[in-house]
Amino acid sequence: MSILSFITEVSLNELEEESSSLLLSRQMLDKLSLKAGSEQYVFFGTKKTACTISIAVDEKNDRCFLSKKAWDSLSIPFPVKLNILSSDTGDIYLGPVVGIYTAGFTGNLLRPAGERSFLFAKYISAAKAAGVLAFIFGSHHLMWEEGTVEGYTYGRKGWKKIKVPLPNVVYDRLPNRKTEEHPLYAETRDRLQNEYSIPWFNPGFFDKWTVYNQLSGYPMVSSLMPRTISAPSAVEVKEFIEKYKHIYIKPKNGSLGLGIHQIIFDPDEQLYYCRFRDHSRNRLRRYGSLNGLLKTQFPHGYENMVIQQGIDLLKYQNNPIDFRIHTNKDETGKWRITAIAAKVAGAGSVTTHVKSGGQVKSVNEIWEELQLGRDLLDDLKNISLKLSTAIDETTDGCIGEIGFDIGIDEKENIWMFEANSKPGRTIFFHPKLKREDLLTRKLPMDYAVCLFRKSIEAAAAEGVTM
């Protein structure tokens, strides 16, 4: 199936009130292989209406017009720049309408999603360049009987509430695992996916142990991961520390570096050191025995933990460093490297997180300081793309972005520590990462256009109108 498309501004023709019509310039008609006088279905979100195709009096090539009857039938909230697509059947699609699904709404129009409103405003602004109408919404904003949703979008005058059809694509930006585990989340997702065939991307936070198992069975990347065990026994913990002398114990579903413990055995001193973060402070405790350390630090055992082999990382100014690498799918569904930054651990910190005293450096700064070869940087990029493909192919649902924490050891071997389906954006505070900041906000919208096109193709292949 071939789909013809371009981006245009969709406006209301206030002079035409009685009939349902779509007015296009002659050039647009040619681009979409449409004929004036024909009647075609026009889709916006999950709504559709039959329209007579007419030639617009205004011959501007960057705008099309809908009569008031068609405009109201499609629930278009305001003039907006959108992709306009025409299929082999002549059906016309305006969109996509992309719903950014989240939680934590305040009811305050100045900051409808609290502190995250600023981030969502950036996503919505980036969406405009992709010809996408984006808005934020939660489960309570859906009006199933009408087939509409009342969400919030952002424009020149700030936030405003809009009523639009159910979206063509949903971008999952739930803030935490607790919210994700609420039954209403699964009900909303399943209903939109199953009843309306709406693509939903980035569903669910990654589980460390699940990702480890997925990648362990994937030949091209299985050697990149430190040895890891889920819910280890006390015997296994002791075996790990005896073998590696340096290990990490982490929560299976942790984030932001919370709950991570680093254990180091010093054979010269015959002492065990435990580094962790406690109440916003980096802590280091020394123990004469491993049993004493484990009983004190892990009184409830390791059922919800993973144990991981420690790696002797490259150091910058005597502090360990790892790399945050963002990958995104583009408008063709292909994985791309969108951002790389080095994270330097703070003094005494168990992780490289900024909140634990870490700092962000550009890759060029680190590469020049440590005199690393460019081939190593190419390897880092290629491995990140291979990891993205491996996770994508072994995970259910659509994944549009991943944030990796990847390390390089003192022998320049590359290791993958973490993969995040909803990566944080702390690295983008670095002034040299502004271009990457914009790219990582725009590409999710480009990928939404890709999913939109695929859903049209799939519906046409099955002989179904969306």
Domain boundary (429, 445, 461) is at 429
459 within some domain: no
Grade residue 17 by pLDDT with cuts at 50, 70 and 90: confident
Specify whether 77 is located in the same domain as 9: yes
Residue range 131-151: mean pLDDT, rounded = 97
| 3-state secondary structure (DSSP) of residue 15 | coil
Specify whether 279 is located in the same domain as 339: no
Count structural domains, the chain.
4
Strand partners, 85: 5, 93
453 within some domain: no
pLDDT at 246: 92
CB–CB of 201/397 below 8 Å?
yes
Specify whether 296 is located in the same domain as 360: no
Specify whether 369 is located in the same domain as 296: no
451 within some domain: no
pLDDT at 58: 65
466 within some domain: no
334 within some domain: yes
Specify whether 321 is located in the same domain as 219: yes
Distance CA 411, CA 115 (A): 42
Per-residue pLDDT for 465 more than 70? no
Q: Which residues in 164-188 are b (16+ Cβ under 10 Å) and which e?
A: bbbbbbbbbbbeeeeebeeeebeeb
Mean pLDDT (the chain) is 92
- How far lies 287's CA from each of 270, 292, 310, in Å? 9, 7, 19
Specify whether 188 is located in the same domain as 171: yes
Grade residue 120 by pLDDT with cuts at 50, 70 and 90: very high
Residue range 43-71: mean pLDDT, rounded = 89
366 within some domain: yes
Q: Which residues in 288-311 are b (16+ Cβ under 10 Å) and which e?
A: eebeebbeeeeeeebeebbbbbbb
pLDDT at 57: 75
Range of the domain at 57: 4-95
- Higher-confidence residue of 258 and 343: namely 343
Domain boundary (60, 95, 130) is at 95
Q: Which tens digit of pLDDT belongs to each residue from 309-363?
A: 999 999 998 899 999 999 999 999 999 999 999 999 877 566 666 665 678 999 9
Residue range 246-260: mean pLDDT, rounded = 81
Grade residue 234 by pLDDT with cuts at 50, 70 and 90: confident
pLDDT at 256: 63
Distance CA 401, CA 415 (A): 20
Specify whether 401 is located in the same domain as 318: yes
Grade residue 386 by pLDDT with cuts at 50, 70 and 90: very high
Grade residue 248 by pLDDT with cuts at 50, 70 and 90: very high
Strand partners, 332: none
The pTM assigned to this predicted structure is 0.91
CB atoms within 10 A of CB 425: 16
Domain boundary (309, 339, 364) is at 309
434 within some domain: no
pLDDT at 9: 94
Strand partners, 325: 340, 404
Per-residue pLDDT for 464 more than 70? no
CB–CB of 193/101 below 8 Å?
no
Q: What CATH number does residue 415 fall under?
A: 3.30.470.20
- Picking from 192, 123, 130, 115, the residue whose alpha carbon sits closest to that of residue 153 is 123
Per-residue pLDDT for 277 more than 60? yes
pLDDT at 257: 66
Specify whether 83 is located in the same domain as 173: no
- How far lies 103's CA from each of 113, 114, 148, 176, in Å? 7, 10, 18, 9
Residue range 5-33: mean pLDDT, rounded = 89
Specify whether 130 is located in the same domain as 179: yes
Specify whether 364 is located in the same domain as 287: no
Per-residue pLDDT for 461 more than 80? no
Most confident of 108-112, 175-179, 299-303: 108-112
Specify whether 219 is located in the same domain as 186: no
pLDDT at 220: 86
Helix (H) or strand (E) holding 161: strand 158-165
Helix (H) or strand (E) holding 66: strand 63-67
Specify whether 50 is located in the same domain as 193: no
449 within some domain: no
- Higher-confidence residue of 124 and 254: namely 124
